[in-house]
Amino acid sequence: MEVPDLFFGLLLFISGVVLGAFSNILKDLILTPYENWKGRGCIRIENHESLKSLIEGFCSDWELLKCHTLPSINIRGDLIETSREIHSLIAKNEKDFENDVSDSIREICRKFIVTSSQLPDSDDAVWSNYIEGDVDSICGDFKKASNRL
């Protein structure tokens, strides 16, 4: 056995040990729940920021719909989907939000979904004329609740 062969074998052994250790670290990172390696406080802050972002998106989509009718974009569907996402975010992370704020935001979402589902299925312009006062009120309520977060 020559020295280069011995050196190559040792190098191969060391690289195997390093790769094995690295793969264990990666496995632990992947399989460890998000809450364990990210602090609960950080997750709570992220949930609040996500909720505020969804509320801002809802209100900005509504303002866009009031200003322009965009035939290729279903803003009504986007608004309904956003309100469902808001409701879902709060439902999944109830302990991150104060009860009175989360309850009022979920009630606002329910109110919007119920109101919009009772209207005729038509294009965004006709739909927005039916619901304009209600959604303006809902956006105002959302903003008040968002400020209380």
**Same domain for 46 and 19?**
no
| Residue 90 sits in the same domain as residue 112 | yes
What's this model's pTM, rounded to 2 decimal places?
0.62
Residues 9 and 51 placed together within one structural domain of the fold: no
Give the pLDDT confidence of 12-55 residue by residue, as tens digits.
888 887 877 777 777 776 766 665 666 777 888 888 888 888 88
The residue type found at 112 is F
Same domain, residue pair 81 and 134: yes
Number of domains in the chain: 2
Average pLDDT over residues 130-147: 80
Helix (H), strand (E), coil (C) string for 42-100: HHHHHHHHHHHHHHHHHHHHHHHHHHCCCCCCCHHHHHHHHHHHHHHHHHHCHHHCCHH
Q: What is the pLDDT of residue 7?
A: 79
Average the pLDDT over 72-95 and give the result.
81
Backbone CA torsion sign across 128, 132, 138, 144: positive
pLDDT at 9: 80
What pLDDT does 42 receive? 81
Q: Residue 6 is part of which domain span?
A: 1-32
Looking at the structure, do residues 109 and 86 belong to the same domain, yes or no?
Answer: yes
**Are residues 17 and 74 located together in one domain of the fold?**
no
